[in-house]
Structure 1
Amino acid sequence: MLFVSRLTLERHQVWVYLVAIGLGLAAGTAWPEIGPALERLLWPTLAALLFVTFLQVPLLHVRDALRDRRFAVAVLLGNFVVLPLLAWALVKAFDFDPVMRLGVLLVLLVPCTDWFITFSQLGKGDVPRAIAITPLNLVLQLVLLPLYLWLMADAQSLGSWNWATLAPAFLIVLVPLASAVMAERGIETHPKGERLREAMAWWPVPLLALVVFLIAGAQVGTVLDSLGELQTMLPVFVLFLLAAALLAKGIAAQLRLPAEQGRTLAFSMGTRNSFVVLPLALMLPVGWEIAAVVIVVQSLVELLGMVAYVWVLPRHLFR
C-alpha cells in the first residue's frame, strides 16, 4: 500500500489542483448540463474546507501573536499597510474593468491563514511564530476587508452588489469559523480531541481540489470566454509575488529580524487568503462570475510562486 505523508501531499498540492481543474473543465465541457448540480455541491464543500482550515488555526490564542512584538509589527505592517497599497497600485496601473478589478482586490488584500505555515516549514522559516500570528491575521482581515474595498474598489462594483444577497457568503465564512472556535475549545478541554485536529489536517488539500474542480466544471463557459482577460492577470500576480518578497526583505532589514523570521514574513506576505474571499466572489451578480475565476487563477500562480519561494528565500534572499 502506497503511503503519502501529509507534508508530501502539501508539498505537491499544486499538481493536485491542476489535475482537479483539468478534470473540472473536461467534465463541464462534456456535460454542460451538470453546471447547476456542481454549483449546489460547491457551497457545502466550501463550508467543510473552511471549517477544517480554521480548525488548524489557534483561534483561542490571538494574544500569543503579540508576545514577539517586533515580528508582529513586521507582519501587520506588511500585510495590512504595505501590501494593500501595492494591490491598489497594481489595479490602478493595469486599469482593469470593474469586475476584474474587484476580483484582483478581493484576493490580494487579505493574508493567508493556512498553507503559508506549510511553506514556512518547507522554506526553513519560523513555524511557531507563523502559527502564533495566524489568528491575528485572520481577525484583522475580516475587520479590514470591507474598509479596503470601500477605499479601493470601483464605485460601480460596490453599487452593483445586493448586500442582502451577500448574507449567505458571510454565513459560509462565519459559521465554520464559529464551529472551529467551539471545536478548539472542546479539544483544549479534552486533550484526546487533538487526534481529531490531526485527522482533519489531512483534509484541506483534497477539499480544495474538490472546490476548484466544482468551480471549473460549473464555470467552464466563463473560463473559455475570458481566456484573454485571464491572461492579463498573470503579470499582476507574478509582480505581486516578486514585490512581496522584496518588501518583506526591506521590512525585515529595517526591524532587524533574524533570517528565519524574515522568511516567515515573506511567506506571510506572499500568500493570500483565497478561501475566505471566494464565497463573496461566488455571490456576485450574474455576469460577474469571472471574479471567482480570477481568485482561482491567483491561487494557482501563488502556489507555483511558493515553490520558487521555498528554493529562493533560504538560499538567496534570507540566508
Structure 2
Amino acid sequence: MEHHQVAIYLAALAAGGLLGWAAPGLGPGLEHAINPVLGALLFVTFLQVPAAELLRSLRDGRFLSATVLVNFVVVPLVVAAMFTFLPADQAVRLGVLLVLLCPCVDYVIVFSGLAGGSSRRLLAATPVLLVAQMLLLPGFLYLFMGSELADIVEVGPFLEAFLLLIVIPLALAWALQAWATRRPAGQKVSDGASTTMVPLMAATLLTVVASQVPKLGDSLGDVAAVVPFSVLFLVVMAFAGKAVARLFRLDAPAGRAIVFTGATRNSLVVLPLALALPDDLAVAAVAVVTQTLVEVLGMVAYVRLVPRLLPARNDHNGRAEMGLAK
C-alpha cells in the first residue's frame, strides 16, 4: 500500500466525492466522523516520532523561526496580494481569510512525512502555531475587513482541536511507545498500528470529502470563484516556502516541512467557526470547504513534487526520518 499510496489517496478522494454526491444525507454523520478518523491517523503518525526526538526538536530555533515567518508574515502578505482580486461578496472574502490565514496543525504532519519532511519538527511546532493563530487571527481579520468582523473568532474550536487531535493522540502514542520498550506485546501492537498509516489517510480523505461535497451543490458560482485562488495559493507557497527554507539554511527534511506548513491550512478547525456565522455570511463556510477540497488534492501532488523542489542528498527520497516507504 505504501508503494501505491498516491493512487490510493486519489481513489479515496474520488470515492468520497461520489459518495457525497450520491448520498448527501450521509454528510452530517460523516462530518462527526472527521475528528475520530483524523485523531487515529495522527496517533499513528505520532507513534513514529520518539518522544526524545520531539523534545530535542523544540530547541531548534532556526526551524521554529522559519515556521513562524512563513505562516505569519509570508502567508498574510500573499493573501493581501490576492485580496483585491477576490470576489466582492463579503462572506466569500471572509471564508477565504479564515482558512488561508490559519496554518494546519493536524494532517500536515502526515503529508509532510510522506514527502520526506521533518514530521518531528512540525509536531514540536504545533503548539506555537495553534496559539499564534488564535491570538493573531482577530487582528488579521480587522486589518482586512474591519472591526465588525474581527470578533467572530472563538477560542473554543481551537482548544477542542488541540485536545482531540494533538494532546490525546500524542499522549496515547507516547504511552504505547513506553509499553513497546518494556514488553514484546507492546512492540507487536506498535508495529501493527504503524502499518495502518495508508488506510487511515485514505479513510480521512474519503470522510472529509464525502461530508463536505453535499454542501457545495447550491453554491457553484462561489465555488468557481474560490478555486483559482486556492490553487494559486498552493503554487505560490511552494516557492515561498522554499525561499524561506533557503533563507534559514535548513536541510532538506526541514525545508520540505516548511513548504508544507506554509501551504497547508487549518480548515478542519476554522470550519466550525464558518458554520456558526449568521445566515447572511453562510457562504463563508462554502469557501472554507472548497479550499479544503482543493487542498487535499494539492497535498497529494505536493507529496510527489516537493521532494523534487527540495531534493536531498542520500536520503532515499527523504523518507528515512519518518521510516515511510515511497
Question: After TM superposition, is the score higher than 0.5?
Answer: yes
- Does the Cα contact within 8 Å between 1:54 and 1:177 map onto a contact in 2? yes
Q: How does 1:124-203 map to 2 (within 5 A)?
A: 125=116, 127=117, 130-153=118-141, 154=145, 155-159=147-151, 161=152, 167=156, 170-171=159-160, 174-191=163-180, 192=186, 193-195=189-191, 197-198=193-194, 201=197, 202-203=199-200
Aligned to 2:68: 76
The aligned amino acid for 1:174 is L
Q: Contact between 2:12 and 2:205, CA under 8 Å: does it hold in 1?
A: no
Native 8 Å contact 1:282 1:289 kept in 2: yes
Distance, in Å, in 2 between the alignment partners of 1:188 and 1:100 is 45
Task: Name the stretch that deviates more: 78-87 or 279-288.
Answer: 279-288
Q: CA deviation at 1:286?
A: 3.9
C-alpha separation between the residues in 2 aligned to 1:135 and 1:207?
A: 19
The aligned runs of 1:251-266 (5 Å cut-off) are: 251-266=244-259
Q: 27, 36, 56: which is aligned to 2:23?
A: 27
Task: Give the conservation status (yes or no) of the 8 Å contact 1:52–1:203.
Answer: yes
1:109 corresponds to 2:101: yes
Structural RMSD (CA):
3.3
- Aligned match of 1:47: 35
1:78-113: per-residue Cα shift (whole Å, max 9, x none)? Answer: 123221332344234425433222322232223334
Of residues 58, 64, 72, the one that matches 1:66 is 58
Counterpart contact for 1:173–1:276, Cα < 8 Å = no
| TM-score normalized by the length of structure 2 | 0.75
Answer whether contact 1:88 1:105 (CA < 8 A) is retained.
Answer: no
8 Å CA contact 1:244, 1:266 repeated in 2: yes
How far apart are residue 145 of structure 1 and its match? Answer: 2.1
Match of 2:228 in 1: 235
Structure 2: distance between partners of 1:162 and 1:147: 10
Query: 2:239 aligned to 243, 246, 253, which one?
Result: 246
The corresponding residue for 1:87 is 79
Deviation at 1:119, TM superposition (A): 4.3
Report the residue type matching 1:212 in the other structure. Answer: V
Aligned to 2:210: 213
Tell which deviates more after alignment, 242-251 or 63-72. 63-72
CA distance in 2, matches of 1:300, 1:14: 12
| Cα 1:210–1:260 shift into 2, 3 Å | closer
* Post-superposition CA distance 1:143-171 (Å, at most 9, x none): 12233321122344345x495xx847853
In the alignment of these two chains, the number of paired residues is 296
Q: Secondary structure at the match of 1:94?
A: coil
Contact 1:260 1:318 in 2 (8 A): no
CA distance in 2, matches of 1:298, 1:246: 19
| Corresponding letter in the other structure for 1:229 | D
Alpha-carbon distance between aligned partners in 2 of 1:259 and 1:178, rounded to the nearest angstrom:
28
Contact preservation (8 Å) 2:138, 2:153: no
Deviates more, 1:50-59 or 1:181-190: 50-59
* Alpha-carbon distance change, 275 to 168 in structure 1, aligned in 2, over 3 angstroms: closer
- Partners of 1:179 and 1:310 lie apart in 2 by 27
Amino acid at match of 1:26: A
Deviations 1:63-84 (A, max 9, x none): 3323443333323321232213
- The amino acid of 2:230's aligned partner reads F
TM-score of the aligned structures, taking structure 1 as reference length: 0.76
The amino acid that maps onto 2:57 is: A
> What SS does the corresponding residue of 1:239 show, helix, strand or coil?
helix
Name the SS for the 1:138 alignment partner.
Answer: helix
